[in-house]
Amino acid sequence: MVLIASYNIRKAIAADRRRRPERILEILGEIGADIVLLQEADRRFGQRQSAIPMHMLTEHSPYRAVPYEMRPGSIGWHGNAVLVGPDVEIIRHLPLHLPTLEPRGAVLADVRVRGESLRLVGMHLDLSGLWRRKQARAILSELDHQPDRLPTLLAGDLNEWRSGGCLRDFGQHHMPVALGPSFHARQPVGRLDRMFVSPGIKVLESGVHHSLLARNASDHLPVWARIRIG
């Protein structure tokens, strides 16, 4: 079994409007996932360095970041990052360039967990429904053109408030994972954070991580799924 979480950390800015990356790491410790897909993991301005300082990630968590190396000091690509635990081997990774009017991207990582291969896609899609659908189709096209096929989990903040739209695009060949409302963290009503899985993955459990820390650390709550590959 593999536990995977997805979390829009809002650049580690807590409800008191202060940047508190240590709180994000505490929440990841509460969840205990093998793999975490982050959104808004980089600062918004300046050099757009990681919102979680590199030394803090190394010294205060079991995770290491998949090294996309697109920008010095960043742990991902346009705020999308993949963190893996000690039992996860990184096989291959690449950033995905998305059509957009503002900076957006997605990330792909192939990993091996306890002898099983898994492909991950992390994303944070546009506020515009038209651009969300273009981005979803671009991601699906990238998956179609990969040199091999692996069981695949897609996750992230899709910014989709209603059914249809990009959810329909992803759902044509991937099964949606049953999650609950995760936005806004103080009073969640929106199901903006989503996961999809391809054939070859069985979802055993899934949900939203509710804790006092999580309610105050970001405007999103983390979502998670426990899966079996194969």
CATH number of the domain where residue 19 is located? 3.60.10.10
The residue behind tokens 């099964």 is 175
104-137 burial code (b ≥16 CB/10 A, e <16): bbbbbbbbebeebbbbbbbbbbbeebebbbbbbe
Give the count of domains, the chain.
1
The pLDDT, as a whole number, for residue 48 is 67
Mean of pLDDT values over 49-70:
91
Tell me the average pLDDT across 188-207: 97
pLDDT in tens, 38-56: 999 987 555 568 989 989 9
Task: Calculate the average pLDDT of the chain.
Answer: 93
Looking at per-residue pLDDT, the higher value among 101 and 227 belongs to 227
Band of the pLDDT at 37, cuts 50, 70, 90?
very high
pLDDT at position 135: 96
What residues make up the domain containing 137? 2-229
What percent of the chain has a predicted confidence (pLDDT) above 90? Answer: 83
Tell me the pLDDT tens digit for each residue of 122-145: 999 999 989 999 999 999 999 999
Asked if pLDDT for residue 193 goes beyond 90, the answer is yes
Cis peptide preceding 93, ω within 30 of 0: no
Site of tokens 């919102």: 51
Q: What is the mean pLDDT of residues 79-83?
A: 96
- Does residue 10 carry a pLDDT above 60? yes
Q: What is the pLDDT of residue 104?
A: 87
